[in-house]
Amino acid sequence: MNLSGTYGNLMIYDHRGRLIKQLFQNSLLDYAGVVIWDGTDAAGRPVQVGSYLIVLETYGPKQSFQTHYQTIVVGFHP
């Protein structure tokens, strides 16, 4: 997916649909990159083990608003 020149929002939701953390808002996206989430909520507390939904909203001058979804699993390793 080529996102160069596109703006976006990246949010993480829990399995109940509650917003856990917004990683960025109205940020200019590059062609390629990496986003690292430290597994904490908006208050800095570690999240519980389970599945989470990553939602990336993108918009730009040449492209209409799009929403992309990805499910992730947070696990525990002692």
Please give the share of the chain, as a percent, with pLDDT higher than 90: 71
Residue 59 resides in a domain: yes
Residue type, 64: S
* Domain extent for 44: 7-74
Structural domain includes residue 14: yes
13: alpha, beta or left, given left = phi > 0 and alpha = psi -120 to 50?
beta
**pTM of this prediction?**
0.83
Q: Each residue of 6-63: pLDDT tens digit?
A: 899 999 999 999 999 999 999 988 777 789 999 999 999 999 999 999 999 999 877 6
Domain assignment present for 33:
yes
pLDDT over 60 (residue 1): no
Which of 13, 2, 29 shows the shortest CA–CA distance to 72? 13
Tell whether 2 is covered by a domain: no
Number of domains in the chain: 1
Query: Given this model, what pLDDT does residue 77 score?
Result: 65
